[in-house]
């Protein structure tokens, strides 16, 4: 056991300025990248030390259909993706959480978050572990499930528990990141409404999405950052009414309290101050990690217990 | 595998009328029981098929101090506790979720939920698994941690995932009940404010408590019932300012949506209709159980991963 590592797991006196980039995107990758770069520059100039982009921020959400042509969008790592965002990190001296369609080998792709250190180097990657598949979100066609597991990424602003979108519905993912010393949970995401749904159903869905991520903050006593895209994207196949991405990017503190929430329907670039010291205070008041019944959790590895 | 059991795990066309009993209590056990019985009768007459009482509803919340005299409050099972509430269940033809201080052996006590079938028999018990201990809530002094694990209790209204208070902060507990086929999660609880805390802190605490339980509904696609006591109870030792129990008993549907919420400061007896059919619909839309990465969860049995 490395005691230096352990003692650094909760930075005890840190305020972190987090930059949130909630945007809509087009089918023009260069244009998307230019807007993302502009957002990174803006937020860094406002004091952001960490900038978080949303899921698959260089393209439209191409998983609305199953189309082999979309594999052309995939990026090799390292490659032009890491060149571009590494330079953005270094020039602006910020840690950046990015998201890409990773081409790992011919015919083998992942939905991968890439974290850049403020010097432009790659601090680490996370490959989306839980892969959704439902009408309009055909991710199982495109992405192999991640095989790295739940490993926080060590950066100059803390150990980042980076997870991606569908992972956000799984308390197991948040817990494992926490047990491995993550100081904060970060979810790049792309989630939206079926425009045909009733307003009450839309509200239930967005509220559920916010609530479960706030609960990860509460259960684990650490802050949560969730960054979503916004805007409408049509279904290229014409089979559905497309997706109305619901924005609502937010930051919650370690009691699940809102520190920031973006509108549901417009681009937002905001710097949010997160007090990392509060995690240890909250964990002392509510020592959930102390009382876990680890002797009784073995069946969590079962699909169902018939 | 018993297919009859499997197919009955989600009642597909059931509406259940749930009776919620949020009360304050005194140091007079007979008087508390009489009020509880009156509530059960009232709710049954209004159509309740299941009545849920709050935690340790026959007494004051005696864990505010560590006092050996309080062990006199413990009840043997079976005994006068099961006689009383069994008769209440049978006479009113309702399933009842009760909570008691169980004397299991000399010097060995548990915080135990006892579930009665509508014929008055004991359907099953759950012994609180996660035991809190913080100023004013000295439960580790009184209660040995449960050793039954997370086993739903089979009743005529469904498989009840009964957990108790501090268990509500643990997604692991809710998940294991779900994996074992629970149709609904039920939390008798006794939680309140330190009157000396600021109002903003009080609101954060209550909101966290509601949020994490709603999240159990969302993560597992099943309804949640949480029943708390209300009213102020002073600290017999005079060391603290006592506890202001915050009521706010609630019922959430399988998307975490509120079906009912009680006031924070007054007794409430209410019947709430819960549509059990909605669970399967919601799980089809949001098939979280399908995509769990059970190959990657083994370290959930670790205290921390250094």
Per CB-CB distance under 8 Å, the chain A contacts of B183 are none
8 Å CB contact between B155 and B115: yes
* Per-residue pLDDT tens over the stretch B63-116: 999 999 999 999 999 999 999 999 999 999 999 999 999 999 999 999 999 999
| pLDDT surpassing 50 at residue B289 | yes
Chain centroid, CA B19 distance in Å? 13
| pLDDT surpassing 90 at residue B275 | yes
The pLDDT value recorded for residue B139 is 98
Best of A293, A295, A298, A302 to mutate (most B CBs within 10 Å, chain B): A293
B46 is catalytic: no
Confidence of residue B13 (pLDDT cuts 50, 70, 90): low
CA distance B242 to chain A (A): 17
Residues whose CB is less than 8 angstroms from the CB of residue B304 and which lie 6 or more positions away in sequence, other chains included:
A179, A181, A289
Query: pTM of this prediction?
Result: 0.96
Number of domains in chain B: 1
Per CB-CB distance under 8 Å, the chain A contacts of B212 are 215, 218-219, 256
| pLDDT surpassing 50 at residue B1 | no
d(CA A41, CA A38): 5
Domain of A42, CATH number, reads 3.60.110.10
Residue A299 lies in a domain: no
Residue A9 lies in a domain: no
Q: What is the mean pLDDT of chain B?
A: 95
B63 is catalytic: no
Residue B6 lies in a domain: no
What is the percent of chain B with per-residue pLDDT over 90, rounded to a whole number? 95
Containing domain of residue B76, as a range? Answer: 15-290
Residue B306 lies in a domain: no
* Per-residue pLDDT tens over the stretch B126-182: 999 999 999 999 999 999 999 999 999 999 999 999 999 999 999 999 999 999 999
The pLDDT value recorded for residue A13 is 58
Residue A2 lies in a domain: no
Per CB-CB distance under 8 Å, the chain B contacts of A207 are 255-257
Find the angle CA(A43)-CA(A243)-CA(A56) to the nearest 5 degrees: 40
| pLDDT surpassing 50 at residue A10 | no
Q: Do B299 and A6 touch (CB under 8 A)?
A: no
Among chain B residues, the shortest Cα distance to A139 is held by B291
Find the angle CA(B176)-CA(B182)-CA(B185) to the nearest 5 degrees: 85
Confidence of residue A14 (pLDDT cuts 50, 70, 90): confident
A128 is catalytic: yes
φ, ψ (nearest 5 deg) of residue A90: -65, -45
| pLDDT surpassing 70 at residue A5 | no
Best of B256, B259, B298, B303 to mutate (most A CBs within 10 Å, chain A): B256
The pLDDT value recorded for residue B7 is 41
* Per-residue pLDDT tens over the stretch A124-159: 999 999 999 999 999 999 999 999 999 999 999 999
Q: DSSP secondary structure string, A83-119? A: HHHHHHHHHHT-EEEEEEEEEEETTEEEEEEEEE-TT
CB pairs under 8 A between A and B: 170
Q: Do B212 and A256 touch (CB under 8 A)?
A: yes
ipTM associated with this complex = 0.96
| pLDDT surpassing 60 at residue B27 | yes
| pLDDT surpassing 80 at residue A12 | no
Strand partners, A32: none
The pLDDT value recorded for residue A3 is 47
Residue B1 lies in a domain: no
CA distance B295 to chain A (A): 7
Nearest to B256 among A207, A292, A293 (CB): A207
Section B286-296 average pLDDT? 98
Kindly name the residue from B128, B159, B230, B269 that is annotated as catalytic: B128
Residue A288's nearest CA partner among A250, A251, A254 is A254
CA distance A10 to chain B (A): 13
Residue A218 lies in a domain: yes
Q: What is the mean pLDDT of chain A?
A: 95
Q: Give me B17's structure tokens.
A: 């009328």
Q: Please give the helix or strand (H or E) that residue A223 lies within, else none.
A: none
Residue A100 lies in a domain: yes
Confidence of residue B207 (pLDDT cuts 50, 70, 90): very high
Residue B50's nearest CA partner among B1, B15, B77, B12 is B15
Q: Give me B73's structure tokens.
A: 């409050």
* Per-residue pLDDT tens over the stretch A69-118: 999 999 999 999 999 999 999 999 999 999 999 999 999 999 999 999 99
Section A54-80 average pLDDT? 98
The count of C-alpha atoms lying within 13 angstroms of the C-alpha of B14, restricted to the half-sphere facing its C-beta, is: 20
Per CB-CB distance under 8 Å, the chain A contacts of B296 are 129, 149-150, 176
* Per-residue pLDDT tens over the stretch A165-206: 999 999 999 999 999 999 999 999 999 999 999 999 999 999
Per CB-CB distance under 8 Å, the chain B contacts of A1 are 306
């Amino acid at each position: 056991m490395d005691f230096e590592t352990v003692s650094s797991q909760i930075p005890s006196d840190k305020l972190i300025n987090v930059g949130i980039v909630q945007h809509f995107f087009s089918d023009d990758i260069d244009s998307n990248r230019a807007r993302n770069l502009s957002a990174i520059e803006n937020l860094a100039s406002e004091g952001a030390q960490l900038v978080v982009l949303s899921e698959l921020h260089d393209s439209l959400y191409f998983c609305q259909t199953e189309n082999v042509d979309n594999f052309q969008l995939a990026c090799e790592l390292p490659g032009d993706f890491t060149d571009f965002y590494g330079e953005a990190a270094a020039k602006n001296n910020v840690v950046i959480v990015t998201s890409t369609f990773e081409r790992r080998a011919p015919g083998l792709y992942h939905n991968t978050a890439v974290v850049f250190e403020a010097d432009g180097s790659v601090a680490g990657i996370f490959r989306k572990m839980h892969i959704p598949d439902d009408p309009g979100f055909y991710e199982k066609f495109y992405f192999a499930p991640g095989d790295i597991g739940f490993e926080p990424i060590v950066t100059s602003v803390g150990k980042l528990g980076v997870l991606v979108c569908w992972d956000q519905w799984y308390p197991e993912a948040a817990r494992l990141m926490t047990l491995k010393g993550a100081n904060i949970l970060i979810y790049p995401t792309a989630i939206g409404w079926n425009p045909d749904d009733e307003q009450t159903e839309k509200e239930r869905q967005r509220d559920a999405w916010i609530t479960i991520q706030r609960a990860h903050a509460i259960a684990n006593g650490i802050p949560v950052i969730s960054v979503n895209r916004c805007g409408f994207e049509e279904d290229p196949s014409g089979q559905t009414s497309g997706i109305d991405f619901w924005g609502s990017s937010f930051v919650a503190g370690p009691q699940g309290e809102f520190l920031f929430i973006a509108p549901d329907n417009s681009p937002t670039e905001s710097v949010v101050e997160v007090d990392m010291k509060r995690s240890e205070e909250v964990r002392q008041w509510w020592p959930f990690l102390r009382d876990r019944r680890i002797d009784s959790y073995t069946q969590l590895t079962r699909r169902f217990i018939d």
